[in-house]
Amino acid sequence: MVPILEVRDLVKRYRTVNAVNGISFSIPRGICFGLLGPNGAGKTTALEVIEDIIPPTSGEVLYDGAPKSPSFREEVGIQFQHTSLLHFMTVRETLATFQKLYQKTESIDFLIDICRLRDIQGQMNNRISGGQAQRMMLALALVNKPKLLFLDEPSTGLDPQARRYLWDIILEIREKGKTIVLTTHSMDEAEYLCDDIAIMDHGRIIARGSPAELIRAHCSGGTISLPRANVTMNPADLPFPYREVNGWLDITVDQVNTGIEKLLAMHVDLNDMKVHSPNLEDVFLRLTGRSLRE
């Protein structure tokens, strides 16, 4: 089957800087695809080129097996991270207004129900909470019945309950056959929502796969954390790599059970021990580094 989106050798250059440096990938239909990367990795620029907001320097983007046509913007949905809404309009009135911008549209009642807006449809836009506003943005991105939906950090600024509520709505939308392209700095969000992930750094894609595949490929083993006071010997004498952080020793082991057995044999006090299995955040940090970039 032809992928819904295919990116071929995409380059975006600003003077002497290649923000996007020859990336290629394809996205099959009906999945949630995550594009991840640290600040400055090039993912936002790549997404803006794919969304037809800015032109590429070179390369091409195919939609439904063909170059993007002028109707592309009519056929995809985009939820931006920040969108200003008119305060003097209600939620339902806003949906009705956006509906008039497109030829092919979803019914307002469908949008209200799938995005859980029924209880607030009569409220003014400036009277809804952050979580309600994000669900409203999602409904606006669905107004034109898109087959392909772009979500830019959809849960930024939400509390844990509102985030999980929004995630479940996104999964329901995917189950209805939509293809979703997601950018996020939340590795929890990516691991929960994404079927497939590409990690970008320095304008290139440096890893690709499902969350489970990325974890297996880049972060085997686990971490045993112990209070520093529990380890009376010189930590350098431990048969494992370690690092000391805020009074704790984080000990990296290839096999958690074997590591615990060795620590017991060395008479290390395992009280208050914490065991951490690798997750997508560990993969991200291992591939892109721990130093903060501005």
Residues 12 and 115 in one domain: yes
Residues 238 and 169 in one domain: no
Residues 166 and 251 in one domain: no
Residues 20 and 102 in one domain: yes
Percent of the chain with pLDDT over 90: 71
Token output for 67: 């170059």
Quote the Cα angle for 15-16-18, to 5°: 95
Cα torsion 162, 164, 170, 176 to 10°: value is -120
Examine residue 294 and state whether it is found in any structural domain, yes or no. no
pLDDT band at 294 (very low <50, low <70, confident <90, very high): low
Question: End of a domain among 165, 184, 216?
Answer: 216
Torsion-angle region of 210 (φ positive above 0: left; ψ -120 to 50: alpha; else: beta): beta
Residues 54 and 166 in one domain: yes
Residues 137 and 87 in one domain: yes
For residues 218 and 221, give the distance between their C-alpha atoms in angstroms, rounded to a whole number. 10
Examine residue 286 and state whether it is found in any structural domain, yes or no. no
Residues 205 and 85 in one domain: yes
* Each residue's pLDDT tens digit, 192-227: 999 999 999 999 999 999 999 999 899 878 889 999
pLDDT at 273 over 60: yes
Examine residue 77 and state whether it is found in any structural domain, yes or no. yes
pLDDT in the model for residue 291: 61
- CATH at 108: 3.40.50.300
Segment 137-165 mean pLDDT: 92
Give the CA diameter of the chain. 72
Q: Is 22 helix (H, G, I), strand (E, B) or coil?
A: strand
Token output for 221: 């083993």
Nearest to 36 by CA among 26, 21, 27, 46: 46
pLDDT in the model for residue 222: 86
**Residues 43, 200 contacting (CB under 8 angstroms):** yes
Residues 122 and 256 in one domain: no
Examine residue 287 and state whether it is found in any structural domain, yes or no. no
For residues 199 and 43, give the distance between their C-alpha atoms in angstroms, rounded to a whole number. 9
Looking at the structure of the chain, the number of domains it has is 2
Residues 98 and 33 in one domain: yes
Chain mean pLDDT for the chain: 91
Residues 132 and 242 in one domain: no
Examine residue 234 and state whether it is found in any structural domain, yes or no. yes
253 CB contacts (<8 Å, ≥6 apart)?
A: 221, 222, 223, 224, 240, 259
**Residues 38, 204 contacting (CB under 8 angstroms):** no
Global pTM value: 0.85
Residue, of 84 and 92, whose pLDDT is higher: 92
Describe the strand order of the beta sheet including 222-227 as a list of residue ranges: 242-245, 248-253, 222-227, 274-276
Examine residue 284 and state whether it is found in any structural domain, yes or no. no
Residues 233 and 159 in one domain: no
**Parallel, antiparallel, or unpaired for β 274-276 and 222-227?**
antiparallel
Count of beta carbons in the 10 Å neighbourhood of residue 248:
16
Its domain, for residue 264, covers: 221-277
pLDDT band at 245 (very low <50, low <70, confident <90, very high): confident
pLDDT band at 293 (very low <50, low <70, confident <90, very high): low
Query: Helix axis angle, 130-141 relative to 91-99, nearest 10°?
Result: 20
Residues 166 and 227 in one domain: no
For residues 190 and 187, give the distance between their C-alpha atoms in angstroms, rounded to a whole number. 5
Examine residue 100 and state whether it is found in any structural domain, yes or no. yes
* Each residue's pLDDT tens digit, 43-66: 999 999 999 999 999 999 999 999
Question: End of a domain among 216, 247, 269?
Answer: 216
Examine residue 118 and state whether it is found in any structural domain, yes or no. yes
